[in-house]
Amino acid sequence: MFRNKKEEKLREKELFETGLYLNEITDGNTDRRGILCFIRGILVFLACYSTIGAVVSSFGLEFEVLYVAAAMLVLAMLAAFVYYNKVTFYLGYAFLFFILIVLAFAFYMYINSGFQALLNEMRDAYTAFFDLPAGRMSEEMIPDRLKTVSYMMVFVAAVFSIFFNITISGYMDLPTTFLVSFVPLMIPFYIDKIPEKGYLVMLLSVYISVLLLSRSGRFTLPYRYKKDMPYGKKKEKKKNSFFYMASVGGMLHMVFAALILSIVFMFVSGTVFNDRFSTKNVSNPVKDLSDKYVKMIVTGGISSLLNRYDARGGLSKGKIGGIRSVNPDFETDLMVWYDPADIDYMYLAGYRGVYYSNNEFKSEWPEEDIDPIYTETFMTDPLPPEVMEVYKEIMDADLVAHGEEAENTYSALYGNRRFMSVRNVDADESVIFEPYYTTGVSIESSGTDMSRYTVGYYPYDPYPEQPDMDIMKPYTDYANEYYRTYPESLTETLKNTCENAGIVTGGDTLENAARLRQYFINEFRYTMTPGAVPYGEDAIDYFLTRQHRGFCVHFASSAALILRYAGIPTRYVEGYVMSENDITKRLSDDRVLANITDASAHAWVEIYITGYGWLPYEFTPPAEEEVSSDVNLPFFLNGLITETDRNGGTQGGTDDALDNVGRGKKGRTSISYIYLPFVWTLCFLLIFVVLSRVIGAAVFIAKKLYYEKKGDYEKALNLQNDLLIKTIKKKAKIKTKAFFIRDEEELLSACAVAFPDKINKKDIRYLCDIVYSAFYSGEKMNESSYVKAKKIVGKCIVLLLKYRRKISTIVRSQ
């Protein structure tokens, strides 16, 4: 009889202490857990069908509506009936997963093709919306989209029915239900693809149902209680609570009411689904940030969110094609102590790319390309220490002979040698980051630990006087031989770019470089999210011919090859750019401490100038306003109240959508947008009140006419008299339920005294008599009496409404 010993003990205790024990409560209703599961199944079906259908239909894909709906209904029911009892609960989900696996294996080709079809449509729509370069289309192995999309929908429904079943049948929880449907729904909504309203009505009705059911009643899962146990109990110290588990009628009512409400909502607010509310024109920090990530996903797939710029040392080590986007973590990579003097910024070179092949600027030449002439002198690694010392200086543009002489010359030209101490915190430990014009590196720790070192250097001068140096001759030959090579496959592209940029082969080196830089500024756009390079494409070719956007790596690598084509020896360099902004502390000895984060990681080009050496040159155009990734509360709130007007237009005529985040959008304060739902709400409430009044009046008139036609004058008069009493009660603010005819007579007589010309006491008496007789005598009322009484009622109501103030005082005084 009892569930367990605990309950039995409790019963005994209560019977002993109080002499009373409340057994299981019943309410005469038979167990209808089947219907309860069925209603849940309907909700799960509506949620699944509306979510998946909305996504698919908004991208213009067609499917077998009937079959898909039927399959989804079956899946939803299977899921909902998992909660029928304990056995189904423990086995049901395993069964559903089994179905899922069977579906996946049996219709793999169809499902996969359906997915690809949807993905292709989505990619098309997104690239069109954001004006992104068209990506590759996924291959659909089965071209019959009607079939493949339908199979795919059923498969997705199998997955979603499990999720929705947990959120709806299991917990009846709105936020989680909303979140499950939110992600897929956002795919079309994000780019103003509005699904058919039928789906939205279904979805809204699910939301409202879940909201109402979860809050307004108790809808405990059937499996959690025994059969024939409609009430649960909760015993606390101060009170015992008993509550009903579920109500079939209540659930049905709520679902029905939710459906009606959602239709009304869609009807009232249907106008929001038009171009006026296009999200294309929305710009605020949050939207811009999410736009950025969405574009990233569209161009590079979801993996692009993970495949970020490797923050280790800020180096990609010459890899150009594999990076879709960079997202600095703003963590310190290097701590640098140095004497800033009058230097605005300083390059710290870490990696030099010399040979370009397969989307990569490699740091070494391929063995087969090495000319034996240079092998001993420039390329053998490791070189003998003394040779290394010499050429290192040369390669770093030290024009002067090494050693003491060089120092003296430099001191004469630029002042005293300075020292920079570097501590590698989170950069690539295999790399030494050095400024230009170094005179030697002293590594503090021994062996392979290169985390702390000191570098001597001279202040940077971009283009000093050119001393005549014969020592550079062999190196110049070497540079001309090797640092002007480029892949033959890029010849056409490089040629066209040189022409477009106005670069003259054999012309002045720095003039050509300046033209190229200007060309980049005019025609290209800096972005940290350029997107992926299509498979099989050359990164530089894609960048120069189609992409026209990129970050420093793209600009530097391309510039290096373009200049090589123009006959200028170049090297591709990666490292850091230090600026005054990085200085975090000023020390007592005029030195400063700079914390260099990976946001300062950079790539640039070294141009070889005969008689001078390697000159670092900047080809990356200045970055325009980027959406900050530093998300914080003010950042979010900023979007609510500030107007984000970025109508700056696109620079240089390029139309780079990925960088148009927020640009070109109509500036409108977000807060100004929100008043519309408030206005609608008020309108809705107003309509609701007016409609309820109108419907009430219509029902009243209809009833009256019906009774009159039927000759049931007693009922017709009672109906009108009720209205009169209601009016009197309202005026007199009478709250008591009992209101007798004598009260009515008394109050109306008082009115008759106040307005003798409008109504007389006799009429009131007549009315009350006839009403009394209609109530109690059981005699049939004739038409003439009814008409007379009706007139009196009408007169009274008009009087009460017309002279409301005066009458309310009279009535109240009574």
Q: Which of residues 515-554 bind another protein (CB under 8 A)?
A: none
Helices (H), 491-644: 491-501, 509-523, 539-542, 552-565, 633-641
Nearer to another protein, 92 or 195 (CB): 195
Q: Which stretch binds another protein (CB under 8 A): 415-423, 527-535, 599-607, 676-684?
A: 676-684
Report in angstroms how near the CB of residue 733 gets to another protein at its nearest: 17
| Among 4, 5, 6, 16, contact with another protein (rule: CB under 8 A) | 16
Residue with tokens 């009115």: 751
Residue span binding another protein (CB under 8 A) among the ranges 212-220, 356-364, 463-471, 605-613: 212-220
Shortest distance (Å) from residue 302 CB to another protein: 20
Q: Give the residue from 811, 765, 763 showing the smallest Cα distance to 791.
A: 763
Considering only residues 25, 134, 137, 702, which one is a binding residue for another protein as defined by CB under 8 A? Answer: 25
Q: Is 382 an interacting residue with respect to another protein (CB under 8 A)?
A: no
- 367 burial level (CB within 10 Å; 0-12, 13-18, 19+): exposed
Q: Are 161 and 76 in contact (CB under 8 A)?
A: yes
Segment 419 to 458, residues that bind another protein, using CB under 8 A: none
Which residue number, 252 or 787, has a Cβ lying nearer to another protein?
Answer: 252
Return d(Cα 808, Cα 814) in angstroms, integer: 10
Q: Which is nearer to another protein, 272 or 698 (CB)?
A: 272
- Between residue 154 and residue 193, which ones bind another protein under the rule CB under 8 A? 174-175, 185, 189-190
Contact 387, 348 (CB under 8 A): no
Q: Which of 19, 382, 506, 536 binds another protein (CB under 8 A)?
A: 19
| Cβ closest to another protein, residue 337 vs residue 684 | 684
Find the binder of another protein among 65, 109, 388, 674 (CB under 8 A): 674
The residues, ordered by sequence, that sit 6+ positions from 605 with a Cβ below 8 Å of its Cβ are 556, 559, 560, 563, 570, 571, 572, 573, 616, 617, 618, 619
Q: What is the DSSP string of 406-452?
A: HHHHHHHHH-S-EEEEEEESSS-TT---B-SSEEEEEESS-TT--SE
Whether 195 and 53 have beta carbons less than 8 Å apart is answered as yes
| Interface residue with another protein, options 89, 414, 680, 739 (CB under 8 A) | 680
| Calpha distance 280→225 (Å, rounded) | 51
Q: Residue 388 or 671: which CB sits closer to another protein? A: 671
Contact 769, 721 (CB under 8 A): no
By the rule CB under 8 A, 675 interacts with another protein: no
- Site membership for another protein, residue 470 (CB under 8 A): no
Q: Which two tokens stand for residue 174?
A: 């709105």
Residue span 251-290 as binding mask against another protein, x where in contact by CB under 8 A, dash where not: --xx--x---x---xx-xx--xx---x-x--x-x-xx---
Q: Which stretch binds another protein (CB under 8 A): 105-113, 580-588, 668-676, 703-711?
A: 668-676
Tell me the torsion sign for CA atoms 14, 18, 23, 25.
negative
Q: Per rule CB under 8 A, is residue 194 in the interface with another protein?
A: yes
Under rule CB under 8 A, which residues in 221-240 are in contact with another protein?
A: 231, 238-240
Q: Toward another protein, which CB reaches closer, 247 or 438?
A: 247
Query: Which of 106, 685 has the CB closer to another protein?
Result: 685
- One character per residue 29-68, x = contact with another protein (rule: CB under 8 A): x---------------------------------------
Among 98, 673, 740, 775, binds another protein (CB under 8 A): 673
Q: Determine the interface stretch with another protein among 309-317, 318-326, 424-432, 673-681 (rule: CB under 8 A).
A: 673-681
Whole-angstrom CA distances from 781 to 712, 724, 775, 778 are: 8, 19, 11, 9
Q: Which of 372, 333, 33, 49 is nearest to 195 (CA)?
A: 49
Pick from 66, 94, 143, 241: which binds another protein (CB under 8 A)?
241
Least Cβ distance, residue 254 to another protein (angstroms): 7
Interface with another protein by CB under 8 A: which range of 149-157, 250-258, 489-497, 713-721?
250-258
Strands 452-457 and 438-443: antiparallel
Q: Which of 208, 578, 661, 771 binds another protein (CB under 8 A)?
A: 208
With respect to another protein, which residue has the nearer C-beta, 28 or 622?
A: 28
Whether the Cβ atoms of residue 44 and residue 168 lie closer than 8 Å to each other: yes
Q: What's the rounded Cα separation, in Å, for the pair 362 and 356?
A: 6
Closest CB to another protein among residues 201, 562? 201
User: Are the CB atoms for 740 and 801 separated by under 8 Å?
Assistant: no
Considering only residues 283 to 322 of the shown chain, the ones binding another protein according to CB under 8 A are: 284, 286-287
Among 53, 114, 135, 217, binds another protein (CB under 8 A): 217
Instruction: Tell which positions 681-710 bind another protein, by CB under 8 A.
Output: 681, 684-685, 688
Nearer to another protein, 244 or 414 (CB): 244
Cα 382-313-386 angle, rounded to 5 deg: 20
Rounded least distance, CB 15 to another protein, Å: 4
Q: What tokens appear for 530 in the block?
A: 């350029």
Residue 146 near residue 64 (C-beta atoms within 8 A): yes
Q: Is residue 807 near another protein by the rule CB under 8 A? A: no
Site for another protein in 621-660 (CB under 8 A): 639-640
Compute the distance between CA of residue 509 and CA of residue 506 in angstroms, rounded to an integer: 8
Pick from 170, 198, 250, 301: which binds another protein (CB under 8 A)?
Answer: 250
- 450 pairs with which residues across the strands? none
Cα–Cα distance between 51 and 154 in angstroms, integer? 12
Residue 151 Cβ, how far from another protein at the closest point, in Å?
Answer: 27
CA distance 197 to 398: 72
Query: HSE of 514 in the Cβ direction (CA atoms, 13 Å)?
Result: 5
